Amino acid sequence: MRLQFLRYLTILFFFTNCTVNYGQLSYVKKLSSDLKEVSGVEHFPNSELLWMINDSGNDPKVFALNTKGKIQSTLYIDGKNRDWEDLTTDNKGNLYVGDFGNNANDRKNLKVYVFSVNNLDHKKNIEPKVIKFSFPNQKKFPPKKKNRYFDVESFFHYNGYLYLFTKSRVKKNYGITDVYKIPATAGKHKARLVTTFHTCDEMSCWVTSADISPDGKKVVLLSHSAIWQFTDFKGDNFMNGKMKKFDLGHESQKEGVCFRDNNSVYITDEKSHGSGGNLYVFTLD
């Protein structure tokens, strides 16, 4: 009996003291299994809803959740989820879905779906407008391995344009991200190069999501373990502003970031290897 009691105390001590370490992140909630491959999150200022999507191979659905991470409704988009990677919004109530994931750098059908979330009137099926784009400096599909800089996982809306952040597939140059811009209007567009930024050379430095604050004064880039914040930039040359890196103290397959307000962000990570699939909050200094 005494031995069993000691075993019980040992097990109790272990479980009451074995807590998950989320580093600098504040854990909000485990996301629904419907979002096990969550790849983007977005939030309208002063809204009580978060919007999320899954990436390639999943149904073309957009999920509306409350700020505690519980699904409130699901919208079905008239389009294909070839590789949905990020979400962004504008100040007119439009939500943009980036179908531009391009791991092999061989896509010729890069696009963004856009629709208004105002007055949905409980609609479940959405017919979006479509923005198509291409990179004028890409000549081959795919290009040689040393030139595969055309994967995109991140974007945001600013002053009538969509700013796209590429994800390098070139060994020893994984931290290179090129910033392009296209008009945020339906039709076909040629992406225009704005600038280039270098995080580091490792895969862990891949840029997987981006956002701009509601007041337009901060830009953040997300990787699996860090956030880069840019302030004091001029015009749309965001990367030439003052830069600060935040090590999150937590590594996972983070693929979604959006501003909660001007000083904090929501972050999501994909469920992988038995961890992740969560919603977090991180406060910027």
Could you state, in chain order, the average pLDDT of each consecutive group of 10 residues for the chain (285 residues)?
Answer: 50 48 96 96 96 96 96 96 98 97 97 93 88 97 97 98 96 93 98 95 91 98 97 96 96 97 97 92 94
Dihedral, 64, 69, 71, 77 alpha carbons, nearest 10:
30
Residue 3, C-beta contacts closer than 8 angstroms, at least 6 positions apart: none
Give me the pLDDT at residue 20, please. 78
Give me the pLDDT at residue 15, please. 41
Residue 231 resides in a domain: yes
Residue 90 resides in a domain: yes
Residue 20 resides in a domain: no
Residue 15 resides in a domain: no
Give me the pLDDT at residue 78, please. 97
Residues β-bridged to residue 24: none
Give me the pLDDT at residue 202, please. 85
Whichever domain contains 172, its CATH number is 2.120.10.30
What's the structural domain count of the chain? 1
pTM of the predicted model, to two decimals? Answer: 0.92
Residue 190 resides in a domain: yes
Q: Is 39 in contact with 255 (CB distance < 8 Å)?
A: yes
Domain that holds residue 229: 34-283
In degrees, to the nearest 5, what angle opens at C-alpha 278 toward C-alphas 104 and 75?
Answer: 70
Rounded Cα distance between 84 and 52, Å, is: 10
Please choose, from the candidates 112, 113, 210, the residue with its C-alpha nearest in 3D space to the C-alpha of residue 153.
Answer: 210
Residue 62 resides in a domain: yes
Give me the pLDDT at residue 99, please. 98
CA distances 199 to 28, 62, 229, 234, 251, Å, are: 28, 30, 12, 20, 16
Rounded Cα distance between 277 and 38, Å, is: 7
Residue 27 resides in a domain: no
Residues β-bridged to residue 203: none
Amino acid in the structure at residue 175: G
Residue 221 resides in a domain: yes
Give me the pLDDT at residue 7, please. 56
